[in-house]
A and B are shown apart, each in its own frame.
Chain A
Amino acid sequence: MRVTFTVNGREESAQNVWEGESLLYVLRERLGLPGSKNACEQGECGSCTVYLDGVPVCSCLVAAGQAEGRQVRTVEGLAEGDRLDPVQEAFVECGAVQCGFCTPGLVVQAHDLLSRVARPSDAEIREALAGNLCRCTGYEKILDAVRLAATRKAAR
């Protein structure tokens, strides 16, 4: 089947999509957007997190056909041109990236948190990121990055 939806502000179409295919597969393999990562394929790891109609979801658990006509925003859509989003900047500056595989999902999820809660408590950050696994044990620096991004965003 053919699936058409808006990705990062642009309408995109994918052809020959298998009906059981996930939104994640369409993004990565058909639309050339490999930022969202494919790891657990069961909603456990959060590395495929994208916005679907403004709400963060695991794109591996969205059937591609369910995205028809909807708005998707991936990690590739957070920066404005060459200017990184404050969350992305903070991840770089705090060393919140080791192997980098979990990073796109964490960045999208943290981006959503800060759009809803300007100055989240540590408990709120941990709760928001509870579904994003990092296996390099980088959580402390990830928390640092989210705190820094919150401070920067609040100062703007």
Chain B
Amino acid sequence: MDFLRPTTWQEALAAKADRPEAVPIQGGTDVMVEINFDVRRPPALLDLTRIAELREWSMAGGHCRLGAGVPYAAVIEHLGGPLPGLAQAARTVGSPQIRNRGSVGGNLGAASPAGDSHPPLLAAGAVVEAESRDRGVRMIPAAEFYLGAKRSALEPDELIRAVHVPPATGPQYFSKVGTRNAMVIAVCSFAIALHPRERRVGTGLGSAAPTPRRAYEAEELLAAELDWEAPLDPALPARFGELCARAAAPIDDVRGTAAYRVHAIGVMARRTLTWAWNDHLEKRAA
């Protein structure tokens, strides 16, 4: 095994172009588990922790540009205002030690259907900034990024440089089912983002299909039927929950059954819509 240690982004792109089989490593919270358990023996590790810019974030052009190496701890500490859904999800990741190392970029790279970042990124309409030495930058909407269980749209010579997330213009919530309130891989999870200016609601399902995914029909229901000036029609959250549950295509596994996951997605969708709507009305009243 080789250990590649680029110190600049250009060096990292060159290393990945020359060695597409190299596995990028940031916080190591996924990659090292696979190596420790002999699940994976990559020919090379590409350490990205020496590239300082990957740990930076900025607000520009109406987006929050989050460097691929920004740890969850920083998302929680600094970005709860503009990115409340992602910050809520970040608070549920692993333990403090894991949140000090793990990053949204790493979550995207691993592309596990259970990754906690994915539902809020989908609901917010995030875009992944990928780059290769030979073809330059490619902007991939989150909804097109996840291709299969632990498979993403990333090409072998590409690296994730950042993720661009529109700052919240309305309430956002993340909900996650697990056996305890820490150190839990989601049994399933759900994110919602209200976009009042566009009269639209974004959704994201986690650990409920081969990939994280949006519940398009449920989003269309709310776009068509929500009255943004009024309290929720009492029947709407239940119908929204049903359509979100219908968007799920989960499996039975050690963490839960498919039937339970479908049910739980419906419940979380209904609840998070209600919470978000209450916040929305409160803000309007204020």
State the A residues within 8 Å of B (CB): 1, 18-20, 22, 41-44, 46, 49, 55-58, 60-63, 65-66, 68, 109, 127-128, 130-132
Q: Are A128 and B96 in contact (CB under 8 A)?
A: yes
A56-B96, A130-B95 known; A63-B181 Cβ under 8 A = no
Q: Select A63's contact among B3, B41, B98, beta carbons within 8 Å.
A: B3
Q: Are B37 and A131 in contact (CB under 8 A)?
A: no
Q: How many residues of B contact A (CB 8 A)?
A: 29
CA–CA, A57 to B26, complex, Å?
13
Q: Which of B73-94 contact A (CB under 8 A)?
A: 94
Q: Which of B1-39 contact A (CB under 8 A)?
A: 1-3, 5, 25, 27-29, 31-33, 35-37
- 13 residue pairs A–B, Cβ–Cβ below 8 Å: A19-B2, A20-B1, A42-B33, A56-B100, A60-B36, A62-B28, A63-B45, A66-B25, A127-B96, A130-B95, A130-B183, A131-B96, A131-B97
CA–CA, A37 to B136, complex, Å?
44
Interface centre among B1, B28, B41, B47, by most chain A C-beta atoms within 10 angstroms, is B28
Q: Select A57's contact among B2, B101, B182, beta carbons within 8 Å.
A: B101
Q: Are B29 and A20 in contact (CB under 8 A)?
A: no
- Does B49 sit within 8 A of A, measured CB to CB? yes
Closest CB pairs A-B (n = 10): A131-B95, A130-B182, A19-B1, A41-B36, A19-B3, A65-B3, A61-B32, A61-B28, A42-B33, A20-B35
Q: Select A65's contact among B5, B31, B33, B101, beta carbons within 8 Å.
A: B5
Query: Which residues of B have CB within 8 Å of A132?
Result: 95
